[in-house]
Amino acid sequence: MIEVRRSTPEDFKKVYQIECESYKHPWGMLDFYDDFVENPRSVWFVAVECDVVIGFAGLWIGVEEMHIVNVAVTKSQRKKGVGKTLVCQLLKQAESENISKIFLEVRKSNIPAINLYKGFGFREMYVRKGYYQEDGEDGIVMILENK
């Protein structure tokens, strides 16, 4: 059974391993660590199965809005609902903080993620041309507005 819980600094090594496994251009380790452990506006969750971290999700909390910054699942656990479970946890966090708007950026080519977010009611706002600096891919900005 999958458990989702708030992350701890002890989770960092496995979370960063999943980050590197999941993205062609992962966040830099020090930047990631700073956000994961030191940033007071960041909230990170991990998905755990049999005491092993299999995915993670992070967000930044602002005034009446939240920004989903990262969701990733280890390759062996993809397409099993782990990402959906993590996004559900992020939305619960938003509700508990009385957040009215949730934003995110997603690669234009990441159709599975786009479909996942649309399944939660996110809609596309606009395209940021060349948003991903490593390769120039466009990013789609999406929003979910809670009434």
The mean pLDDT value for 83-90 works out to 96
Every domain of the chain and the residues it spans: 2-145
Is the predicted pLDDT of residue 147 greater than 70, yes or no? no
pLDDT given at position 131: 87
pLDDT for residue 146: 76
User: By percentage, how much of the chain surpasses pLDDT 70?
Assistant: 99
Residue 24 and residue 77: Cα distance in Å, rounded? Answer: 18
pLDDT tier at 135, thresholds 50, 70, 90: confident
Entry pTM: 0.93
Considering the segment(s) 2-145 as one domain, its CATH architecture is 3-Layer(aba) Sandwich (3.40)
Residue 5, CA distances (Å) to 10, 35, 54, 120 in order: 13, 17, 12, 20
pLDDT > 90? residue 6 = yes
96-113 pLDDT, tens per residue?
988 989 999 999 999 999
Catalytic one of 49, 65, 97, 105:
105
105 flagged as catalytic: yes
Specify the pLDDT at position 55: 97
How buried is residue 8: exposed, middle or buried, by Cβ count under 10 Å (0-12/13-18/19+)? exposed
pLDDT in tens, 26-77: 888 999 999 999 999 999 999 999 999 999 999 999 888 999 999 999 999 9
